[in-house]
Amino acid sequence: MPEFQAELVRALPGTLREHSVRRGGKTAYRDARRAVTYRELEERTGRLAGHLARLGERVAVHLGNRVEVVEACLGALRAAAVGVMLNTGASESELAHFLDDSRASVVITEVELLPPVLRLVSTRPGTRVVAVGRGAAARDVLDFEQLAGTDPGCPPRDDLGLDDPAWILYTSGTTGESKGVVSTQRSALWSVAAAYVPAYGLEERDQLLWPLPMFHCYAHSPCLLGVVSVGAGAYLLERGGNVAEALSAGLTEEPFTMVAGVPATYRLLLDSLRRTPATMPSALRVCVTAGAPCPGELKTEVGQVLGAPLLDGYGSTETCGRIAVDRLDALDRLDASDRLDAADPVGGLRDRDSSVPGSHPRPACPPSSSGPRGRCRACRSCGGRPGRAPMTRWTSPGVT
């Protein structure tokens, strides 16, 4: 398989425009409600960006597994705003922390999730709410469909640099309070060019079944950035959906070639097939897992039942993607191991953690750097909070 694909590390708006011309009629994303082609994705995110640019510099995306989560994330990027990915299952107090920590000026959520969002926004003047779903206008909030479907009177900015802050994703909080990790397009796309294409063979013809929450880095990296970068397609399965049923149901025009999950996903899939046998798509060529150690016996059983190898990987929110991955072209040395000793490290990541000898941490921005509306004049790495240490940031080569 090819090694590092440098041409994939480029600003996504240009990639979207190219896909719109070359494969505009192809379905990019689909869920149980609707689908969007690459032409529609480019047009809708462009219109959304024009509207969002007037609303603020931080856009919180509080959406489940649906096409709009992709549109919101790309729309914020095209507005040169920072997209803040939020867990729809977060408690109200957790959500309050995320909004305050990120200083989001816009929250894009679902009509069903509006009550806690509206309560929190009521005490945060200037924060606007955009809702997805029927009845948004009746709740005195902005209607997502209207923003994505109407001309804002200006083109999308599309000028966010590769090394400008593009997204904030929060860690799981297993070692303490969840921390916001700032990623750039370059650092986030690094896993696509260094792991998903070389190790998994991700390409335009692939159809990915994605059953995991889209707010997480594991989803943001391959399902959003990977799929869009190569012009592939993906189906976003609702949280708690049956993966075995989805694989056998023919939910997309083309059969699934890839499925992702965590080890528990595959255990549930195998249990479901034991109870209710079903035919798996013959086009399925690879299964990927991460998030927890994957036992060797699970890899073996998945390979036998699904007819496709299960590749393990290790990553973190701080690295914006993968650190080490199993490779399709190295199955002979993986030998169904439940360890990652045989996995290939993803090259090029640099550790900015000040606790690591030889690293180069960013100093805290001085309080005197505060500009209009309290925003830091010097940079955006401090989260717009002068005097505080910068958010965690791991970067790829070329990021200063």
Over residues 294-332, the pLDDT tens digits come to 999 999 999 999 999 999 998 999 888 888 899 998 876
The pLDDT of residue 252:
82
Instruction: Give the C-alpha distances (Å, rounded to integers) separating 25 from 28, 162, 203, 224, 260.
Output: 9, 28, 17, 19, 25
Q: How far is CA 294 from the centre of its chain?
A: 22
Pick from 196, 264, 194: nearest CA to 230: 196
With cut-offs at 50, 70 and 90, classify the pLDDT of residue 2. Answer: low
Query: What does the pLDDT average to over 133-151?
Result: 88
- Tell whether the model's pLDDT for residue 391 goes beyond 50: no
One-letter amino acid for residue 352 of the chain: R
With cut-offs at 50, 70 and 90, classify the pLDDT of residue 346. Answer: confident
Instruction: Give the C-alpha distances (Å, rounded to integers) separating 51 from 60, 81, 221, 285.
Output: 15, 12, 26, 41
Pick from 399, 376, 398: nearest CA to 390: 376
The pLDDT of residue 382:
45
With cut-offs at 50, 70 and 90, classify the pLDDT of residue 347. Answer: low
Using one digit for the tens of pLDDT, what is the confidence trace for 261-285?
A: 999 999 999 999 999 999 999 999 9
Query: From start to end of the chain, where are the E strands?
Result: 27-30, 35-37, 58-62, 82-85, 106-110, 128-132, 142-143, 165-170, 180-184, 207-210, 233-236, 258-261, 286-289, 310-316, 321-325, 344-345
The pLDDT of residue 350:
52
The pLDDT of residue 388:
41
Pick from 215, 209, 213, 220: nearest CA to 244: 209
Please give the angle made by the CA atoms of 111, 107 and 46, to the nearest 5 degrees: 95
Residue whose token pair is 């701080």: 318
- In order of their start, the domains of the chain are 37-183 (3.40.50.980), 186-345 (3.40.50.12780), 358-394 (no CATH)
Using an 8 Å Cβ cutoff, are 186 and 396 in contact? yes
* Residue of 60 and 140 predicted with greater confidence: 60
> How is residue 352 written in tokens?
């900015």
- Residue 140 makes CB contacts below 8 A (sequence gap 6+) with none
- Tell whether the model's pLDDT for residue 191 goes beyond 60: yes
Query: What does the pLDDT average to over 223-244?
Result: 96
> How is residue 385 written in tokens?
């909070």
Please give the angle made by the CA atoms of 134, 137 and 139, to the nearest 5 degrees: 95
The pLDDT of residue 150:
97
Across 28-37, 144-153, 237-246, 363-372, least confident range = 363-372
Residue whose token pair is 């479907």: 149
With cut-offs at 50, 70 and 90, classify the pLDDT of residue 387. Answer: very low
- Tell whether the model's pLDDT for residue 365 goes beyond 80: no
The pLDDT of residue 30:
98
**Model confidence, pTM:** 0.86
